[in-house]
Amino acid sequence: METPFNDRGVSVTRNALSSAGLVFPVRDIVDVRVMTVQKNKVLPRSISFIGLVLAVVGAIFRSPVGMVCGTMLVVVGWLTWATQDVTHRLMVQTPNGEREALMSTDREFVERVAAAVHEAKAVAVTPKV
């Protein structure tokens, strides 16, 4: 690995992966993998459903407070869904277990870091002549 990887606060050298204050020596890294975490569906749907029920009950009992609070919860549920991002994580396997080294919404960046770690491991394993 001629040029070390250094981008967005993550650096990979021949000796270590450094990310978010964590340092993983390359000699201790068994494997790295990119894991994708999808949006959470349960929480926004639950909030919206509770809001919908509250708004309907408020309408049945002609309660402006119930209707307004219910409508607000439906909107909060939708906003919870709309503002979530799909995240990608770089998981580092060491002899002590698997740990998260990096999390980003940019999959290409996480894959470049993983490739740099694989390249650093290949250089570390190759004997020098």
Q: What are phi and psi of 100, to 5 degrees?
A: -85, 125
- The domain segmentation of the chain, as residue ranges, is 5-38+86-125, 42-82
* pTM, 2 dp: 0.76
Q: What is the pLDDT of residue 123?
A: 81
CA separation for the pair 3, 90 (Å, rounded): 21
Residues of the chain with pLDDT under 70: 1-3, 126-129
Give the tens place of pLDDT for each residue, 41-73: 999 999 999 999 999 999 999 999 999 999 999
User: 3-class DSSP state for residue 100?
Assistant: strand
CATH architecture of 5-38+86-125: Roll (2.30)
Residues with Cβ within 8 Å of residue 40, at least 6 apart in sequence: 84
Nearest to 53 by CA among 39, 30, 69, 35: 69
Share of the chain above pLDDT 70, in %: 94
| DSSP assigned state of 1 | -
